[in-house]
Each structure stands twice: as structure tokens, then as C-alpha cells.
A = this chain, B = another copy of it.
């Protein structure tokens, strides 16, 4: 083997699936790795909806990045945020200082997209971070508490109406989980309300839910959700969200639906680092700001800048762009790491090819759909496949144990221990004024007035 200089510097931005698997793969390579992330932990996003609906705790689906990589002595973790990139001088500017690179791997992902209606965000939060999930959890469980206290039947109905916007996997998973909560888990817990009277609406703009899946599976998923009590509205566009009323348009028909809990699972937009790459490294962006990449996942004319994971748009061997899912990001991260190692040896690799193991979505207990290389599953077999795959990919062994135990326990008892309402100013937010807006007066202040 050729002696390689020990100091080829690989800088990875983002500790999600793409960045983390690239870093892991480079752990034994003769390079210096710096992994930069705003957070100190890797988040297993596919299970985030279970935090939002009270099954799991944030720590169950998170692993400290330093802990995962502590054995890789060539790897440094920096908790910081990229503010700029200098592609000529080959360095990344951070909030605190700068880091030079020989190879740069960008994997900063995506966040929610409100299609130009960012003012909907406070009323209809999305689900990308731990904080997002805790906010959803707070709203979902607070809605039942508020309904229990509400005496006006119209207002009570609005507290018991849950609207999920977007019929992709996240929307389907959220709607299914809320149905299980309302119609099963919480059934015995209230005295003034019947949680079984809750309405759960899943709104989707296209003609079926789970649009990227084969139509039979969309059909199966819709059937399961229907049996669970979820009302699915397809070909339905949200045209406004204001004062906790959703305006939904289905063909020529426009309906205004009062709902205190509106959850956004509809669109994504690229991380702001995409824009930095456009301005500083000549990247081309798509409509939502994602970065177009070459067959080896580099930027055009920037052979040492890679963009992977949800932030990148890569056209698959069959001509379609790859979806923004964890397996794509993992394989891209591993591919780039291998390519960096090969290049150090003077070799190259063939273009990236995605090995599609299939896709799946969970709907509820014993209910899921899966499409594995043409074989389609639904019901209990799909549910077991989903469960196995998600446990398998949890990065740390102790998380696997805890999540298995939680799921096993929930499976037999339908219990949800993590349904805590937490956060600053918890109580005041249940006090709503006539318009359904949250009051701002602090509960402790009110008590102190005595």
C-alpha cells in the first residue's frame, strides 16, 4: 500500500444519517475528520412521530454524536453552525471560527416548507426536530385537557378536531397514532368528554395518500386508517390557516374547519447551506432549494465538495430522483466515504447507485404497508417488517433495548407513558380567549396576585 499523507482533512457538515454514516465509514481511514453539527446528538427522525404522540422519549431515538464517534481517534466533533463556505481557499466559516478542508461533505438536510405561507407555522407546526416533536406532543395532549374543561360545545368540538396536513408517511403515521390515542389509549381517562368523539382529518392534495407508493398500498393504508377512525380527504388543498380555522378546497368546494390542533406534514425546503453552495460554489438548486449533484455526488466543477442526503437531488439509475429517506442518505454517506479513501489511493469509483430495499409506513398496531423490491406487504407482516427495520437501524444498542421494551409494553397494554405536557409556560397556554387564541398571562403571576 502506498504511504498516504496522514492529514487529508475531511469536513462533514451535519450529523444526520448521511453525515454520520460518512464519518463512521472514515473512522479507520488515514484522514482527519471533523464532524460539525448544530446539535450534540444524532436524531433517528423516522421515529420522531412517536415522540410527538407520547410513545417514546427524545433520548430513546437520539444518540450523542461524541459517544457514537468516541472510538474514532481521527475524528473531532464540533457543535457549531456553518455561516459561509470559501470554496477557493477551501474552508468552512462557523459561528465560532473557521475550519479548513481538503474534502467537504455537506449533509444538512431539509426543514418544513409552507409554500410561501410561513405565517401558518405558529398554528401548524411541522416535525423535524426534537423541539418540534415536544411541541406537537404538548398541543395534542393539551387539546384533550382543554376539551375536558370546555363547556361550549362548538369550542369543545374544535379542541377535539385534529387536522394533519399532508398524506405522506409522516402524515399517515401521525394521523394513525392520534387515532389510537383518542379511540383507545385515552378512552378511560376523562370524565367530561368522550375522546372517542374526536375527529381526525388527514388532508392530501393528490388523489391518494402515500403518493410515492404503489396504488394498491395507498389503498390498503387508506382502508386501515378509515377503520381506525381517520377521515381522509384527498385532492384537498389547504388555502388558508388562520385563527385556528383551516380553509380546505376540494375541487370547487371550499370548507372552513375549526381545529385547535393542526399539524403540518406537507412540504420540505432545503437547509440554508444549499443557498451558500449556490452563491459560493456555483451549485444549481431545485425549486425548494435542494442541490443538484453529479453521479459521484459532487458539485459540478467542485470535485472535492459532496452534497448528500435530503439536501441533494440525485437522479437515480432508473431516471427518477431519489426520495429523501434515511436509506438513501446512509448509502450516499457510505459511498462518499469509500470514494474519499479510494481517491487517496489514486483510484476512482463508479457512479453512486442506490440499492433500494423498499419503503414502508406504519399506520397503527399491526397495521402498516411495505413495498420491498416489488413485493407488497400490509397488515401484521408489514408491521413486523417495519418494527424490525426501525429497531435494527437505531444506532446504539441501549436505544434498541429501550425502544424494544417500550414498544413491547405498549403493544400489550396500549399504554403511553411519555404523554407529558412540558415546556415553559405550560399552564397558561391552555387558557384560550374567545377566538381560540392562547392567552399570554402567566399562571404563576395570576396565582401571585392573591
- Would B399 and A79 count as touching, CB distance under 8 A? no
Question: Among the listed B60, B276, B426, B449, which residue makes an inter-chain contact with A39, where contact means beta carbons less than 8 Å apart?
Answer: B426
With known contacts A57-B57, A66-B189, A398-B409, A422–B131 Cβ distance under 8 A: yes
In the complex, whether A424 has a CB less than 8 A from a CB of chain B is: yes
Integer count of this chain's copies in the complex: 2
Residues B276 and A450 in contact, CB atoms below 8 Å apart: yes
Q: For residue A430, give the distance in angstroms from its CB to the closest CB of chain B.
A: 7
Residues in B with CB closer than 8 Å to A402 are 402, 405-406, 417
Alpha-carbon distance between A402 and B131 when the two chains are bound, in angstroms: 23
Please tell me if the beta carbons of B398 and A450 are within 8 angstroms of each other in the complex: no
| Stretch from A81-89, A259-267, A288-296, A352-360 forming part of the interface with B | A81-89
Indicate if A315 sits at the interface (CB-CB under 8 A): no
Query: What's the Cα separation between A326 and B305 when bound, in Å?
Result: 58
Nearest-neighbour CB distance to chain B for A44, whole angstroms, equals 12
List of B residues within 8 angstroms of A57 by Cβ: 57-60, 418
**Nearest-Cβ distance from residue A401 to partner chain B, whole angstroms:** 6
- A34 CB, min distance to chain B CBs, angstroms: 9
Interface stretch of the complex, out of A21-29, A247-255, A440-448: A440-448
Complex contact A427–B38 (CB within 8 A)? yes
Which bracket fits the contact residues of A?
A: 35 or more
How many Å from the CB of A163 to the closest CB on chain B?
A: 22
Shortest Cβ distance from A444 into chain B, in angstroms?
8
Alpha-carbon distance A108/B65, docked complex (angstroms): 40
| Most B C-beta atoms less than 10 A away, residue of A62, A76, A417, A448 | A417
Compute how far the CA of A71 lies from the CA of B415 in the bound complex, rounded to whole angstroms. 14
A446 contacts B95, C-beta separation under 8 Å: yes
CB of A340, distance to nearest CB on chain B (Å) = 20
In the docked arrangement, what's the CA distance between A188 and B188, Å? 48
A:65-100 near B, CB below 8 Å: 66-67, 70-71, 76-84, 95-97
Q: Does A269 contact B (CB under 8 A)?
A: no
Q: What chain B residues lie within 8 Å of A78 (beta carbons)?
A: 148-149
Which B residues are CB-close (under 8 A) to A155? none
Task: Check B420 against A64 for contact (C-beta < 8 Å).
Answer: yes
A190 at the interface (CB under 8 A from B): yes
Chain B residues positioned under 8 Å from A41 (CB to CB): 419-421
**CB of A36, distance to nearest CB on chain B (Å):** 11
List of B residues within 8 angstroms of A97 by Cβ: 149
A444: chain B residues within 8 A (beta carbon)? 81, 272
Q: Distance in Å from the Cβ of A419 to the closest Cβ of chain B? A: 5
Closest to A59 in B: B418
Tell me whether A413 is interfacial, beta carbon within 8 Å: yes
A307 is an interface residue with CB less than 8 A from chain B: no
Q: Does A157 contact B (CB under 8 A)?
A: no
Q: Nearest-CB distance from A105 to chain B (Å)?
A: 18
Closest CB in chain B relative to A112 CB, distance in Å: 13
| A409 close to B401 (CB less than 8 A) | yes
The 6 listed contacts between A and B (C-beta, < 8 Å) are A39-B420, A59-B420, A64-B189, A80-B149, A275-B450, A402-B402
A binding-site residues for B, Cβ under 8 Å: 38-41, 57-60, 62-64, 66-67, 70-71, 76-84, 95-97, 130-131, 134, 141, 145, 148-149, 186, 188-192, 272-273, 275-276, 279, 396, 398-399, 401-402, 405-406, 409, 413, 415-424, 426-427, 430-431, 443-444, 446-450
Given contact pairs A64-B419, A96-B430, enumerate 7 new A-B contacts (beta carbons under 8 Å): A38-B443, A67-B415, A67-B416, A76-B191, A84-B450, A130-B420, A131-B424
